[in-house]
Structures are given as C-alpha cells and as structure tokens.
Amino acid sequence: MHVVCKDHLEIAIDEFVDEYEEAPDIVDLQKTHFANWEAPTHCEHCKELARFLVV
C-alpha cells in the first residue's frame, strides 16, 4: 500500500507492480473516506498533501 501525491503516483504504481506483479487499485483520497482507517496526510515520497492510495 502506498499513499502518494499526484507527482509520485506513477512511481507508486511501478513499485506496486514490481512487488505484487499485478495492477493496483487506485483510490482518490479526496473522494473516498474510510470509517475505520484514517489515511496519512502527506505523501510517502515528499511533504506534499497525499492524494492517492495505491493498493
């Protein structure tokens, strides 16, 4: 699972495919909210606001 900004989305997809050898699901964190989990607020690659969850 990766939480990233728009600029690092492609990198997160590549990392996911390298690890799991299948295409990930991409969730827009601005449009989706989870009842039992709060997403990190910052991208795992930089200090920008997290926008996508790659799972």
Residue-level pLDDT at 42:
96
In terms of Cα–Cα distance, which of 28, 29, 2 is closest to 15? 2
Residue-level pLDDT at 16:
98
How does pLDDT run across 1-55, given as a tens digit for each residue?
A: 999 999 999 999 999 999 999 999 999 999 998 899 998 999 999 999 999 999 9
Give the integer Cα–Cα distance in Å for 9 and 35.
24
Model pTM?
0.90
